[in-house]
Amino acid sequence: MLTVLFDGVAYGMLLFILSCGLSVTLGMMNFVNLAHGAFAMIGGYATAQLMNEAGVPFLACLPVAFLIAAVLGLVLERTLYVRLYRKSHLDQVLFSIGLAFVAMSTMDYFFGAQQRLITLPDFLRGQFEVFGARIGVYRLFLIILCGLITIALQLFVSRTRIGSQLRAAVDDARVAGGLGINVSRIFAGTFAFGSGLAGLGGALGLDLLGVDPVFPIKYMIYFLIVVTVGGTRSMVGPFIAALIIGVADVAGKYYVPQVGAFVIYTVMVVILMIRPEGLMGRRATR
Amino acid sequence: MSAVSETGLASRAAAHASLVAARRLRPAEIAFWLMPIAGYFLFPDRLALLSEIAILGLFALSLDILLGFAGIVSLGHAAFFGLGAYTAGILGKYGWTEPLSGLAIAALVAGAVGFITSFLVLRGNDLTRLMVTLGVSLMLAEAANRLGWLTGGADGLTGVMIGPVFGVFEFDIFGVTAYWYAVGVLFVLFCLARYLASSVFGLTLRGIKGNSLRMAAIGAPVNLNLVTAYTIGAAYAGVAGGLLAQTTQFASLDVLEFQRSAEVLLVLLIGGSGYLYGGLIGAVLFKLMHDLLSDLTPQYWQFWLGILLVVLVLSSREGVRGLYLRVAARFARSRHPGRKGGAA
């Protein structure tokens, strides 16, 4: 029981890191980016390649995965995404599906269709027992690392100058621009950072999820659930949603394996039924 | 006082006239429907591809009813296609081999699920709708995957038997019957959709798409209309799926896949939505492109699909119809230099 809870929390934390970039673009900037998983996939592939081919240690790969995904995000934001901020949701959906398809078949072309896995370094492997619950070392590492990132993010968005500029730009881009905030630079930076976090999540998730060319579509629904269920107001909503989804998914697979992924789809549809604006949401302003 | 009622009467008469005019058959439409006949004689060895085009066209038409007329966005339209396919397939497998009634049941099942889920879909904004439609289709895909005893699971549904159409025309290995069956069903359902589009119901839908608040203010039952449109769209998609299962005598999990929902959106994007023919034109172009590109690079069709989506959206999403209208507008302008150009 406690083991399931612990694993679920670790999984939820990972989901949060994977999807918090999306919660900013989709939740705050109101842009539906279905290609978000592609950035996670890039991070995962970068780490798998570096570790398996070049022998780079795992911890050193993490910042690299972040950087590669962030740079890619920045380039794509400046060249393509920026043209779509004002278009309809449907346009954004179609565009980002297209982008995800391109990324998926490119990865397939270069790395083949089989799943990539890694071997974790020794100090992150194994498990120990506390109060009858089996605690995996790597999962504990995930919880601590992701927890720290989450706290840092929340403080960053709510306390710093750039954080408040971001919130202002999201609330009303025109007025924020009128006050001298460089909105497009803020958006570009945020997008790049969110993509970078996805890349980091892809790298961190290698041990649990692996990475293959269908990764963006396979996990897209999880990211979307986290964000739509979590609502758009703060980092807290998606965080709680990620934990709920993580625990529900692990518990569902553990206790009722025959229904499989049904549990989380049901959770999503039910929550959206009760609160169309998300758990912690407010009504969209536009 | 009388002036008001007179203008009222006049505008009423004008509205009636425009309704009648919209129903009139245009020469271009007759030419369009001669194409499947020409296709049969020109490409007798590609009938399987032509049947697929007809089925995809019907599927895209069903999405056009939602998107182009009612303005409901959907990321999970494959749900109803898949429901229809499995319904028709399972009926055929367990002895209900009469094809037309099989299609009707497929439409009923898909329509019923569409009716039930429409209440979920109509809540919330575009974003919620995208998520809920996606969620519903994923749930159905997972269900089909789990109910292996009924659907054949990942191996697909085999052993589907379909009897002759009207009790006369057997399905042959050359696909002749399958082709005319698919085209015939498409034609009948298209005519029905065309009639609906120019009816009061169709016009109300357009109004709701334009501004649902105002439509509600003039007394139109907005939600009832949307529910009806969603149900009809779902039933149409079910027929398309049923046609696929019956003509190929097979159904597999990919009828419910996300990819299929994305593809049908692309088809409508290519053809342009909101004028019924968009789905059909898009289906022709899409299938031809698919055929051509997968001959070149069989594995990486998805890559071209993605590029196409990106390019079409960036080039302002008008499809071939937008292109045609723009060219026509320019043409008209050069002929009447004084008039202001620009079409709908």
The residue of B293, B299, B302, B305 whose CB has the most chain A CBs within 10 angstroms, and thus the best one to mutate to test that interface, is B302
Distance CA B344, CA B331 (A): 15
CA A198 to chain centre: 5
How far does A251 lie from chain B, in Å, by closest CA? 18
Enumerate the residues of chain B whose CB falls inside 8 A of the CB of residue A87.
313, 317
Nearest residue of chain A to residue B302 (CA atoms): A101
The yes-or-no verdict on residue B3 having pLDDT over 70 is no
Question: What tens digit of pLDDT does each residue of A7-28 get?
Answer: 889 889 899 888 888 887 877 7
**Which pLDDT score is estimated for B341?**
41
- Examine residue B155 and state whether it is found in any structural domain, yes or no: yes
For the segment B122-128, the average pLDDT, to the nearest whole number, is 75
For the segment A208-237, the average pLDDT, to the nearest whole number, is 80
CA A22 to chain centre: 6
- Examine residue B92 and state whether it is found in any structural domain, yes or no: yes
**Which pLDDT score is estimated for A283?**
46
* Domain hosting residue B187, numbered range: 43-257
DSSP B156: -
CB nearest A265 (choices: B125, B135, B265): B135
For the segment B180-206, the average pLDDT, to the nearest whole number, is 90
**Which pLDDT score is estimated for B190?**
93
CB nearest A91 (choices: B136, B307, B317): B317
Q: Angle at which helices B27-42 and B47-64 pack, to 10 degrees?
A: 150
- Examine residue B182 and state whether it is found in any structural domain, yes or no: yes
**Which pLDDT score is estimated for B309?**
85
Q: Where are the domains of chain A?
A: 2-113+129-274
Q: Which two tokens stand for residue B163?
A: 């009897």
Distance CA A278, CA B124 (A): 10
Distance CA B62, CA B72 (A): 12
Q: Angle at which helices B78-93 and B47-64 pack, to 10 degrees?
A: 130
CA dihedral B167, B168, B169, B172 (to 10 degrees): 90
Lowest mean pLDDT among A46-55, A71-80, B15-24, B147-156: B15-24
For the segment A252-259, the average pLDDT, to the nearest whole number, is 78
CB nearest A99 (choices: B128, B138, B306): B306
**Which pLDDT score is estimated for A220?**
84
Q: Report CB contact under 8 Å: B135, A93.
A: no
pLDDT band, residue B30 (cuts 50/70/90)? confident
Q: Angle at which helices B99-121 and A262-274 pack, to 10 degrees?
A: 50
- Examine residue B342 and state whether it is found in any structural domain, yes or no: no
Amino acid type, B168: V
Distance CA B105, CA B99 (A): 10
How far does B139 lie from chain A, in Å, by closest CA? 6
- Examine residue B283 and state whether it is found in any structural domain, yes or no: no
Contacts of A162 (CB under 8 A, 6+ apart): A156, A186, A189
**Which pLDDT score is estimated for B340?**
44
Q: Are A70 and A192 in contact (CB under 8 A)?
A: yes
Contact residues of A toward B, CB < 8 A: 26, 32, 80, 83-84, 87-91, 93-95, 97-106, 108-109, 217, 221, 224-225, 228, 258-262, 265-266, 268-269, 272-273, 276-277, 284
How far does A55 lie from chain B, in Å, by closest CA? 31
Amino acid type, A232: T
B13 against A48, higher pLDDT: A48
The yes-or-no verdict on residue A39 having pLDDT over 90 is yes
The yes-or-no verdict on residue A279 having pLDDT over 80 is no
For the segment B139-150, the average pLDDT, to the nearest whole number, is 86
Amino acid type, A59: L
ipTM score = 0.80
pLDDT band, residue B319 (cuts 50/70/90)? low
For the segment B292-304, the average pLDDT, to the nearest whole number, is 79
The yes-or-no verdict on residue B338 having pLDDT over 60 is no
Lowest mean pLDDT among A84-93, A210-219, B124-133, B312-321: B312-321
Enumerate the residues of chain A whose CB falls inside 8 A of the CB of residue B134.
221, 224
**Which pLDDT score is estimated for A285?**
40
Q: Report CB contact under 8 Å: B134, A224.
A: yes
Distance CA B325, CA B329 (A): 6
Enumerate the residues of chain A whose CB falls inside 8 A of the CB of residue B123.
272-273, 276
Count of the separate structural domains present in chain B: 1
A133 against A208, higher pLDDT: A208
Pairs across A and B, CB distance < 8 A? 125
Distance CA A112, CA A134 (A): 36
- Examine residue B216 and state whether it is found in any structural domain, yes or no: yes
Enumerate the residues of chain A whose CB falls inside 8 A of the CB of residue B142.
260-262, 265
The closest of B148, B149, B171 to B97, measured between CA atoms, is B171
Alpha helices, H only, B147-251: 148-151, 176-197, 200-210, 212-217, 222-248
Distance CA A8, CA B117 (A): 30
Q: Report CB contact under 8 Å: B314, A97.
A: no
Q: Report CB contact under 8 Å: A93, B300.
A: no
Q: What average pLDDT is seen over chain B? A: 84
Contact residues of B toward A, CB < 8 A: 67, 73, 75, 120, 123-128, 130-132, 134-136, 138-139, 142-143, 145-146, 258-259, 262, 265-266, 269, 299-300, 302-303, 305-310, 312-314, 317
Contacts of A3 (CB under 8 A, 6+ apart): A133, A134, A135
CB nearest A95 (choices: B139, B142, B313): B313
- Examine residue B266 and state whether it is found in any structural domain, yes or no: no
Distance CA B105, CA B282 (A): 27
**Which pLDDT score is estimated for B4?**
53
DSSP B276: S
pLDDT band, residue A109 (cuts 50/70/90)? confident
CA dihedral B221, B227, B229, B231 (to 10 degrees): -150
**Which pLDDT score is estimated for B95?**
83
